[in-house]
Amino acid sequence: MKREVPIKYQGLYDRRAKSRKAAIRSQCLECVGYAIIEVKLCTDIGCPLYRYRITG
């Protein structure tokens, strides 16, 4: 099942093939259901992207 990307983040998803930062942000946002605050509050230290997530 493919999730629908919210309109707010569609530009970010379009850039993810060209930018490592965009790819990481889009993956993290999808993981937490597109709630940016949840990315900032993430505690999953087992995730390989944990150290690169959005923190500010």
Domain assignment present for residue 11? The answer is yes
Torsion of CA 10, 17, 49, 47, to 10 degrees: 80
Domain assignment present for residue 2? The answer is no
* pTM (two decimals): 0.76
25-53 average pLDDT score: 91
Residue 32, pLDDT > 50, answer yes
pLDDT computed for residue 53 by the predictor: 84
Domain carrying residue 48: 7-52
Cβ-based neighbours of 27, under 8 Å, separated by 6 or more: 49
Domain assignment present for residue 33? The answer is yes
The total domain count for the chain is: 1
Cα–Cα dist 41/19, whole Å = 23
Domain assignment present for residue 36? The answer is yes
Higher local confidence (pLDDT), 29 or 13: 29
Domain assignment present for residue 1? The answer is no
pLDDT computed for residue 56 by the predictor: 66
What backbone phi and psi angles, to 5 degrees, belong to 53? -65, 170
